[in-house]
Every structure is written in structure tokens, then in C-alpha cells.
Amino acid sequence: MHTINLYPQATYPFTLVPNTFIDTYLSKSNGDFVKIYLLLLRSMSKGMHTITTAFIADDLHLTETDVKRALKYWALHNVIALTYDDTGEITSIAFDDFKEENKQQEVSKPLHKEVALTKQKDVKLNLSTKPQYNMLEVDSFIGQQGYKQLIYITQKYLGKMLTQQDINTLIGFNDWLGLPFEVIELLIEYCVSNNHRNMSYIEKVAISWADEGINTVAKATYRIETFNSHYFKVMKALGIGDRQPTPKQIEYMKKWTDQYGLSVDIILEACHRTMETIHQPQFTYIDAILKNWQKNKVQSKQDIEKLDAIHHKKSDTKQPTTKDQTSKFVNYDQRTYNFDELEKKAMELLIKETNSTY
């Protein structure tokens, strides 16, 4: 049993519950999670500065696993911040002060594209913590209206009855990953619309969203629009549209659109040329092409055609000299060069020197 230190913003002879917490989380969070948060606040009001998960579990008639899931849920939503020791045990809890002026500023700001997909305090999920629910726990969850509705909607989207394991996974999207019900519904709809009905695949997408802090409808909507209009098209053009992009692949695609400022049509053209040339979805190769186009201020396919024409013209002019022009070298066996092939080999050499993989 590990003792956890509590770091409150202030200590009072009564229990203060922030209005922001009530307005934002009370209606859509698991009831046991809310009780655990309130107990932590109450413990601080009594002057307690250390606590254990066993104490919380005993006081609320829960398991320590329930308590740890709740703490990670609140950390994912930035209500608290957790620190861990080398064994992965929680050692301290710091509370958000929910200062109203800060919250008002956040509400008044428009949702920026970059902010929309920013991770919440760099919280990274530990996949080994994925829970397996027993029958009593599952019955408890599906007795709640939110889960009951989620299971019904998911079965409608997937066109089948969910298995026991499917229901376990679905419950985990909210209970373990901390995704709100409305975000999970968007997630299911998005996967099905792209013809992915396998729950294992859907779970991978859910974990990716939770890792990236996609925990509101606005963030989920932006993510879906971005993937549909950019990333999915790129992956499909490379013949790997049935996969989720890796973090490195997403990094490349964001660079092409945000840093290089290139349109999707230009990026897709580079993808097509890559597949025609090396027959592999090599992101480093695509990046080399796009970097060159960006350097030459390419904005349209017409600009690419002009670059191609210039390149071919230079290639045509670099023909071997005639015999008369090289009379002093009559015994020299002259060579001809295929500049397109040389460019291809140079590009392949660049890729080999790069440690990045697609």
C-alpha cells in the first residue's frame, strides 16, 4: 500500500466544490468517480495531507482498482495532476484551482486547430492498465442510462449484437479512457463510415484519441474532418487506407500541410509519383519530393508541369558530345546518362541515410 501526498491549492474548514467542476463534469462523469473526487476534497478540508487508495476504497465501498481508474480519469481531464514512482504507483495528487477568470478566458477563445489536437498535460495511457470487468461490474455499468444508450447506438452502427468482450471494450472507452459518451458515438460513427466495424480497430482509434486529448465534440469533429479531407486520402493513395496513421506519419502529413503550406492535391500527386517510382509508401521519399516543390514555390499542378518541362529540357540538352567535338579523345568510350534514373537513385540513397520509417 502506497501513501499518496495531497497538494491542495488552499485549506478551508469546509469543503469547497468548484463551480466549474459541477458545471462541466457532474452530469457526464461516472458517479463513483465523482464520489472519489469529493472525498479527496473533504480529506483536504479536514487537514489531511496524505491518503491511500485503500482508505478511499474502504470508505466508499469500492475496490482499489476503481479508485485508481477514477484518479487517472480525473488526471486525463486535467481536474487533478498525478505523479508516479518508478514502479508506476501514484505518489501525489495536485488539484486544479479552477480559477474562474482563467476558465472564462478559455471559453471566450475560439478553438484553434493546433489547440484542438493538443494532448492534455502530456498524459500518456499505460495500456497495461486496461481493465477487465467481471459480470457484476458490467451489470452495474449497463444499468446506467449513459452506457445503456451507448450500447444500443453501437449495435445499430455495427449492425450486430455486441459480444461480452465488445461490451467490456466499449465500457472501457468511457471508464478507462475517459472519453465522454457523445465523443464515443462520434468515434463509432467515424469508424463505421470508413468501413471499419471491428471492435479491436475501433479501440485503437479510441486509444489514439484519448492519448491526444480528443475529449470534446469540437475536437472530435475537427479530427474527423482533418482525417477525411487530408490524412485518409493520403493513406488511400499509398494503398494503406485500411490502417491508422502512425504518429510519425501524422507528423509528416502535418508538416506538408502546415509547414510547407501545400494543398492536398499537390500532396496526392507526390504520393502517386512515389508509388509509380519505388512502389512503396515511403514517407521520406514523398517528403523529399514535396520539399523540392515547396522550395520551387509550387502551388498548383500547373506549376509541377512547368518544373517537369524544365527538368526534361535540361536532361535533353545534356547529351554526349559529338565525335568531332572530342577528337582528342577518340579512343575514349563515352557514356550516356539517364538523368531521371540518377535522380531516382539519389532519392533512394537519401532514404537509406534517414532512420525514419513510414
pLDDT digit string, tens, across residues 229-239: 788 889 989 99
Confidence (pLDDT) at 344: 60
Give the pLDDT score at 293.
95
* pLDDT for position 208: 87
Write down the domain spans for the chain.
1-109, 111-238, 246-353
DSSP one-letter code for 216: S
pLDDT at 321: 53
Architecture (CATH level 2) of domain 1-109: Orthogonal Bundle (1.10)
Taking the CA atoms of 111, 115, 121 and 122 in sequence, report the sign of the dihedral they define. Answer: positive
Report DSSP letters for 294-318, one per residue.
HHTT--SHHHHHHHHHHHHHHHHH-
Of 241, 295, 302, 236, whose CA–CA distance to 271 is shortest?
236
Q: Which residues of the chain have pLDDT under 50?
A: 101-123, 326-330, 332-337, 339, 355-358
Note whether 199 and 155 are within 8 A (CB). Answer: no
Residue type, 60: L
DSSP string of 129-189, one letter each residue = G-----HHHHHHHHTSHHHHHHHHHHHHHHTSPPPHHHHHHHHHHHHTS---HHHHHHHHH
Kindly give, in sequence order, each residue whose CB lies less than 8 Å from that of residue 72, ignoring residues fewer than 6 positions away: 82, 129, 178
pTM: 0.48
Using CA atoms, how far apart are residues 262 and 268, in angstroms rounded to an integer? 10
Strand 3-7 vs strand 90-95: parallel, antiparallel, or unpaired? Answer: parallel
